[in-house]
Chain A
């Protein structure tokens, strides 16, 4: 399942997670972002228990987007132990995302 992050759940869900977390920064009006969604759905089933797959809507949770200086979407960030391990821009294949997660 893909989790929708809020500003007040970000710390607990992402920074304090025991497993790697993939965060997709997106917006409703960004058409390439909509193409990421089905890929994440599929990915989330495959990595269940090994990693968390999350989405953060930059319009709503702009404080987090600002903090990480997101200026281009879709941006996909992988957090490990609360720190950024990987960051890519644009739609990625499921295989590439698995690689980013180190799985």
Chain B
């Protein structure tokens, strides 16, 4: 059993790890993509201490190097599932499984949302972000699962317990997992229906009748984890109290995912502050 798993290798997650390590604890940091900073086209000019502006991607790499030099365990892998069991958490990555007393979500915010026409209209009216919550409503219906990688495979395992009439839509991406259900590779152009979802239209002109759609594209975001665990989310941000704890004991969140200024300096501050609160939380257990 680990004490602390930090999900996210950006400025918030790494800063939290550094302060926790210096406080004598042993955090494990797990993350794969570099988030918003790696897509930022300009060099970072507003963060303290860099006489010459630095690329966001380089800044993150240096942060990881800094943590490694302090003997912090960093696992470069995607987290595909986060579950709570009694008073601890189970973290599943594409290669490993861990148990931990506390989790810090520091994955940043996905700037990209699904822009396929009909997505927002049918959210909750056929389109679901949580197979474990909503699979039941579609147990005798035709359902689609959108995704191509390990996250999709994980959701498929959940869904196939409830329903056998599943089609996997990779939405134009290569399928990375072997599945025993029909697969459609063409890109999705539209979700169809009047009040409720009725079908999917793809780029090659085909129309597939489905009543339910489950989305598991790429790696799950913090919002996806939060939705599945029952964290209070407001205006696309996770709600935390003054100790950075969510409404779930032991589950903390820092950086862009909790809103406020989407800045490196603020992410670093959150990382520093949460380390004190984690120490207090672990001591009280």
Contacts and interface: CB of A to CB of B under 8 A. Distances in A.
Interface of A: 27, 29-36, 39, 58-59, 69-75, 89-93, 96
Contact of A32 (B124, B130, B138): B130
6 contacts: A31-B83, A31-B229, A32-B133, A35-B230, A71-B126, A72-B133
A70 B196 CA distance: 11
Interface residues of B, number: 28
B124 A30 contact: no
A71 B133 contact: no
Given A71-B212, A72-B128, A32 B229 contact: yes
Interface of B: 83-84, 123-126, 128, 130, 132-134, 136-138, 195-196, 212, 227-234, 239, 247-248
Nearest to A75: B124
Contact of B84 (A27, A30, A31, A96): A31
Contacts of A34: 230
A72 B232 contact: no
A75 B130 CA distance: 13
B239 to A, nearest CB: 6
B124 A91 contact: no
Contact of B232 (A27, A31, A71, A93): A93
Contacts, number: 73
Lowest 4 A-B CB distances belong to which pairs?
Answer: A35-B230, A32-B230, A72-B124, A89-B124
Contact of A70 (B137, B234, B248): B137
Contacts of B134: 71-73
Given A58-B136, A71-B124, 6 more contacts: A31-B132, A32-B227, A35-B247, A71-B196, A72-B128, A72-B133
Nearest to A34: B230
A32 B247 CA distance: 11
Contacts of B128: 71-72
B196 A69 contact: yes
Q: Which of A29, A30, A89, A91 has the most CB of B within 10 A?
A: A91
B230 A27 contact: no
B133 A33 contact: yes
Given A31-B132, A35-B248, A71-B212, A91 B137 contact: no
Contacts of A58: 136-137
Residue of B138, B227, B231, B232 with most chain A CB atoms under a 10 A cut-off: B232
Please indicate which of the listed interface residues A32, A74, A93, A96 has the most CB atoms of chain B within 10 Å of its own CB.
A32
A60 B165 CA distance: 24
B188 to A, nearest CB: 19
A81 B246 CA distance: 35
A48 B283 CA distance: 38
B82 to A, nearest CB: 11
